[in-house]
Chains A and B, each alone.
Chain A
Amino acid sequence: MTVVTSVVAGWRLSLRRLLLSSSVIGPLATWMAIFVLFSVVASNFLSLRTVSGILNAATLTGVVTIGVTLLMISGEFDLSVGSMMAIGGYLFGQQAAKGTPLLGLLLALLIPAVLGALNGLILIATRIPSFIVTLGTRSIYRGLAWIISGGALLQLTEDLPIYEVLNGRLEVVDKLFEGANFRTSVVWLLGLLLLVQYLLIRTDYGNHVFAAGGNRAAAAAQGVNIPRVKLVNFIITGTLAGFAGVLLFSQFKTVRVATGAGTELSAIAAAVVGGALLRGGSGSIWGALVGVLLISTLRTGVILLNIPFIPADNFEAVVGVAIIGAVVFNDWLRRRA
């Protein structure tokens, strides 16, 4: 009897600790509630087609959001991710057109990584807030995309095997389930998520990231090289943005100068819905993913509901209301915990 009680008590304790320590619970609860709600009220919501659609819509933003969240935890922003996504798409697509997609993949990861480093270096050298630094490089990199592309839409019609690996249909799963439309990009997203989550939770570097965005004096006292941590996070973010461009091109075989415009704000919205604090020091990669999914689920649900007074071209407004609602709820949960 005592054993049972102590086990239950232990569970309670760890649950409470989870609530205290993890910012995933809030968004997760919200997301599950919304999911269940739509499953009940929208007759055609609960299907593999819908679920895979929600996931697919979340992948590109999701990959970018991983980096953006990591940066936000360390107290910085990156508004240039959308532009780097376009650059990644072009570098990959142009090489794919020449028959050297692997070189393209390399360039599409490397160049945005360097551009990310540039963001970090400007921040370190000038001490201008990253919001302003990347507001500037957002335009500069968009200009770079313009130069690389010659201002032209790049569209290929030929299929390459590498596209199937990067963002093809996940035939293994899709064949098993009628109506499912999962893509390999979901696997990439999941893999990156686990990788960065491991980095953040299981390594010293992860602690440094939290420390850099939290109490700086304390972090510096512990010997955390704050500038280096931030620099590395900018590089990771740039690389992921470039990779998102590659994933985009692999499915749609199209990239244009404006590709990725607006992704920076979607990513920040997702990170915040997922429990990240704008001032840094707190947040979670899982939470951010849930944030992306939550927004994607809402959009799908609202369209499927076919509400007469919310026509399909007005669902963005609902998503906006939900973003604010989710953050208010997160805050309330955090204070209770």
Chain B
Amino acid sequence: MGILSKWLAALALVAMLVAACAPATAEPPGVAPAEETPPEGAATEPAAPIEEPTAAVDPTRSLDLILVQHALCAWDSFWCTVERGITDAADDLGVNVTVLGPDEFDLEQTASLIDQAVAAQPDGIGLTVTDPVLFKEPIERALAAGIPVVGYNAGNGPIADGIDYLTYIGQDEYQGGYLGGLRMVAAGGTQGVCINQQVGHAGLDKRCNGLVDAFTESGLQAEVLAISDDPAESETIIGDYTTANPGADAFLTLGPNGANPFYAWMESAGMGAGDVVHGTFDLSPEITANIESGVTLFGIDQQPYLQGYAAVLMLTMVNRYGIAPALPVTATGPGFVDAGNVGAEPAPDRAVELIMVQHALCAWDAFWCVVQKGIETAAEQLGASVTVLGPDEFDLEQTAALIDQAIAAQPDGIALTVTDPVLFKEPIERALAAGIPVLAYNAGSGPLADGIDYLTYLGQDEYQGGYLGGLRMVEAGGSQGVCINQQVGHAGLDKRCQGFTDAFTESGLSAEVLSISDDPAESQTIIDDYYTANPGTDAFLTLGPNGANPFYAFLEAAGLGPDQVVHGTFDLSPEIVENIKNGTTLFGIDQQPFLQGYGAVLYLTLLLRQNIAPALPVSATGPGFVDLGNVAIVEALAGEYR
């Protein structure tokens, strides 16, 4: 026992030594938060020593933006809502916005206004891509002049329009039909009908596809019924259809032109509220009245206010923080108007008190300082009061208890990280039962996947990250791709690879997945062997620093440079930032944590003041691409905004 006690004494000594060392050594330069798996929100931010801040980087500077649209509030009242969104955003963000539009609907004149906007050399241009063919050249002149461009209200997104603008801000038609269909199923619909007044119209067909998919995925049936422009004829068609299909009990109309004959049919068939489930796109006085009387479950609004607001917001984010919109289409709709919010008037001056509950804090995890900055910036710009709650160390039980604490304070809204959907489900449902709107940020999978009825989840869209990254690599000359996955079987990582391989396959090229291990030396050899066996491989996607690190070792040992291979990666680390700067790496994909904090506050405030609800179950803050174009601003703002 003598030896034993001596050893124990020595151990105690060393333990003290370790304890004494640990705090001092916890934060050496070049430390970035660990990234194990993406959904946990532990994304890596470059904490690389800030070298020389670029002169242009000023996250508070004023901006001059020009918006060009094919119609104006002056002669089309629809646009007054859009312009109200524009003005409010300009006020909130402290930027100057000029709105240009023709005196009457005139696409040629609108196109020439784009050129006029370019000539004024603004910091950003937002425009309606009403005619992608006619507007293509003016937009490309703006891009060539280095002016960031977003589309709003009219357009199909950069990929579909074949113009390289940042994003299209408007309604996601498919999701409108899909989410509407899910609501109709939840309301008791068992057999669906999509009443389409213009079969063959791409946007309307997408709505119907969404509805049919929602019913099919729920194990039910739905089909499309074509009606005509003649309301009397349409009423008869609907009547004949229901006679032939007496089981049909859920009807989706695609606008006032379908809803009008539908109501006529209901009246003539002697039906009223509760007999069938009806949902529709768009709002009209007739539709609003039927929502109020309970005949119609919902009307789907594209939320024009948000289109104007988001156009200004995104151009501001790009300029000030180098934060780009995550997806080619940024959905402002479907916004559901139902018995709960029909007829609600905006209350722009309403005081807003929010509580954020998150599983980590800036105080002990540097990643969260960026989220915190987003929260604070939004709170200041919107005049909202926000309290952030979090545990002293990673502790899910304590975090769940903080949600209950937040509910007890009766705030106007709660935003939280759904780090553990099972554990957090009950507290979140208590908040919802208390009538408090809830949304999720940074950690979660969205209300549908989590099985909790919160508004939306603000975080990275993993599949789109892989897909859009893949398209970029193809554009950069990649012809044969490999997705280097350090943890095959991890749902989030697998989605990234799936998106990447889909992008290559759709481009008529091939790509596959290579599994590497936790041992970087082993991984380097695996990549080298794969390259030897598949020497045609020229496009490599890594899924984080754990994959990028052995990949760089492979490049060095194999003597390969950017001329021979295209490399893209998820996340940022000091090493990845270095390699973006020296041209080895085409891009690093960032989940844009600033936007997660900012967006959570913004969405809740817009909901409370403007009755604007997030359109989709997942509101993508990433992929945010960091490349040669914005790596300087990202590095200069690292740890604060990026």
Contact = CB atoms under 8 A, between A and B. Distances in A.
A204 interface: no
Task: Tell which of A57, A110, A300 has the most Cβ of chain B within 10 Å.
Answer: A57
A279 interface: no
A150 B553 CA distance: 26
A278 interface: no
Interface stretch (A16-24, A254-262, A321-329): A254-262
B570 to A, nearest CB: 14
B518 A248 contact: no
Contacts of B25: 90-91, 94-95, 98, 148
Nearest to B521: A60
B347 interface: no
B575 A152 contact: no
B520 A248 contact: yes
Interface in A292-333: 296, 299-300, 303-306, 311-316
Interface residues of B, number: 61
B190 interface: no
A59 interface: yes
Nearest to B367: A152
Given A148-B18, A261-B518, A300-B529, A252 B573 contact: no
Interface string A58-88: 0111000000000000000000000000000
B248 to A, nearest CB: 47
A257 B11 contact: no
A56 B573 CA distance: 24
A315 B557 CA distance: 23
Task: Tell which of B364, B366, B519 has the most Cβ of chain A within 10 Å.
Answer: B519
A263 interface: yes
B515 A49 contact: no
B4 A125 contact: yes
A254 B548 CA distance: 11
A156 to B, nearest CB: 5
Nearest to B578: A157
B617 interface: no
B34 A57 contact: no
B78 interface: no
Task: Tell which of B364, B488, B517, B546 has the most Cβ of chain A within 10 Å.
Answer: B517
B505 interface: no
A256 B11 contact: no
B532 A50 contact: yes
A241 B29 CA distance: 25
Contacts of A57: 519, 521-522, 524-526
A312 B36 CA distance: 23
A228 B7 CA distance: 12
Contact of A114 (B14, B27, B513, B534): B14
Interface residues of A, number: 70
A252 B11 contact: no
B525 A313 contact: no
B366 A152 contact: yes
A193 interface: no
A91 B25 CA distance: 8
B530 interface: yes
Given A121-B4, A228-B3, A148 B22 contact: yes
B525 A296 contact: yes
A37 interface: no
A54 B31 contact: no
A251 B553 contact: yes
B28 interface: yes
Contact of A254 (B29, B515, B549): B549
Interface in A163-212: 169, 181, 185
A245 B394 CA distance: 26
Contacts of A152: 26-27, 31-34, 366
A154 B31 contact: yes
A262 B518 contact: yes
Task: Tell which of A53, A124, A315 has the most Cβ of chain B within 10 Å.
Answer: A53
A111 B14 contact: yes
A254 B518 contact: no
Interface in A257-290: 257-263, 266
B34 A56 contact: no
Interface string B15-42: 0001001100111111111111000001
Contact of A313 (B10, B515, B573): B515
A93 B31 CA distance: 11
A96 to B, nearest CB: 9
B11 A114 contact: yes
Contact of A258 (B14, B29, B518): B518
A162 interface: no
Interface in B193-247: none
Contacts, number: 184
Contacts of A14: none
Nearest to A249: B520
B518 A299 contact: no
Interface in B375-395: 394
A151 interface: yes
A304 B529 contact: yes
Interface string B53-94: 000000000000000000000000000000000000000000
Contact of A149 (B3, B34, B518, B520): B34
A150 B26 contact: yes
B7 to A, nearest CB: 6
Nearest to A93: B28
Contacts of A147: 22
Given A57-B522, A111-B14, A154 B30 contact: yes
Given A60-B521, A299-B526, A153 B532 contact: no
Contact of B520 (A251, A262, A314): A251
Contacts of B573: 153, 155, 254
B103 to A, nearest CB: 58
Given A53-B529, A153-B32, A181 B557 contact: yes
Given A153-B44, A251-B521, A251-B553, A256 B34 contact: yes
Nearest to A62: B521
B296 to A, nearest CB: 50
A117 interface: yes
A44 interface: yes
A118 B8 CA distance: 8
Contacts of A315: 515
B522 A296 contact: yes
Contacts of A91: 25
B528 interface: yes
Contacts of A263: 518-519
B483 to A, nearest CB: 9
A296 B526 CA distance: 9
B77 to A, nearest CB: 54
A54 B525 contact: yes
A257 B550 contact: no
A61 B519 contact: yes
Given A117-B7, A153-B44, A155-B32, A312 B512 contact: yes
A259 B486 CA distance: 12
A49 B518 contact: no
A41 B364 CA distance: 55
Task: Tell which of A111, A155, A261, A300 has the most Cβ of chain B within 10 Å.
Answer: A155
A313 B18 contact: no
A97 interface: yes
B48 interface: yes
Nearest to A59: B521
B535 to A, nearest CB: 9
Given A254-B549, A254-B575, A312-B512, 17 more contacts: A98-B28, A117-B10, A147-B22, A150-B364, A151-B42, A153-B32, A155-B574, A248-B521, A251-B520, A252-B553, A253-B575, A257-B36, A262-B518, A263-B518, A300-B525, A300-B529, A312-B530
Which 4 pairs between the two chains have the least Cβ-Cβ distance?
A: A97-B28, A57-B525, A313-B515, A150-B26
21 contacts: A60-B522, A97-B28, A107-B21, A124-B4, A148-B22, A150-B26, A151-B42, A152-B366, A155-B32, A157-B30, A254-B520, A299-B525, A300-B529, A303-B533, A304-B529, A304-B532, A306-B534, A312-B514, A312-B530, A313-B515, A316-B515
